[in-house]
Structure 1
């Protein structure tokens, strides 16, 4: 059985910095990601990204534009729980303007929202969606699609 997730992510870039959040779980010691997450049943991804930004950073987010969509298929053998089978994640990426001062999500899975220099991102242990979001934001491909991001080393599914 294949699992499926529709998610919306915010790419917020100001002064050569991107807003990232650190994710923690029982499966790893933490990694960096873009603010965002699952679109709830019946929810519009546009509204989901604004909700997720508020939950994970404590900031208001204003969607400026759609950047693109990424479809990622993860074979069972590459998942942290291979017994759940393969997984497909559809990510909708938006450029979002942030207002307010970031603060950690209370009782949530994300902590440490931080404006991170773009030059420092490559050295961080991060979700592949960070690279996808930055490629969409910085490259603005007319198709709204970028090549698959290879995982391994510092880059995780």
Structure 2
């Protein structure tokens, strides 16, 4: 089994969420792998800057999600666990733009009601659920994968 520790930004302002459009044609939250020796708090700030061109300020920890992707569905063909740490962030500067020479082709402020019609990572639904409910446990039920919702 492969394993990835990642941190994600949930940026919600005026009924819109900041989403990143991955080159694989799915929408996701800004965020990514925690590098060796890096704190997840710092990962979120770095990833928002790299992927969107925006400057983020963390407001609070929202929660943690752990999901296992079966080998038959994982990119590498090996069962994979993703442990994601979600932060509520506020954008304090910059303008959304593509990630230079990398995997994010655009970043867009998206009205929350429109999210349901996008082909997206389940991370988007998890992050929005955490932001909307703010559970004391920092955990929301797993999001079913299928249709427009991808791993």
TM range (shorter): over 0.9
**What is the deviation of 1:3?**
0.3
1:80 Cα offset (Å): 3.3
* 1:44 paired residue number: 39
- 3-state SS of the aligned residue for 1:123? coil
- Unaligned segments of structure 1, at least 5 residues: none
How many corresponding residue pairs?
Answer: 150
Equivalent residue number for residue 98 of structure 1: 91
Q: What is the CA-CA distance between 1:75 and the residue it aligns to?
A: 1.1
Task: Indicate yes or no: 2:12 matched with 1:13.
Answer: yes
Tell me which residue corresponds to 1:142. 136
Tell me which of 110, 131, 138 is aligned to 1:116.
110
TM-score (norm 1): 0.93
What's the counterpart of residue 79 of structure 2? 86
Q: What CA deviation, in whole Å up to 9, does each residue of 1:53-98 have, x standing for no partner?
A: 000011100000000000001110122332xx10000000000101
Gaps of 5+ in 2: none
Find the counterpart in structure 2 of residue 4 from structure 1. Answer: 3
Structure 1 runs of 4+ with >2 Å offset: none
Give me the CA root mean square deviation.
0.8
Partner in structure 1 of residue 21 of structure 2: 22
TM-score by length of 2: 0.97
Report which of the two has the higher share of helix: 1
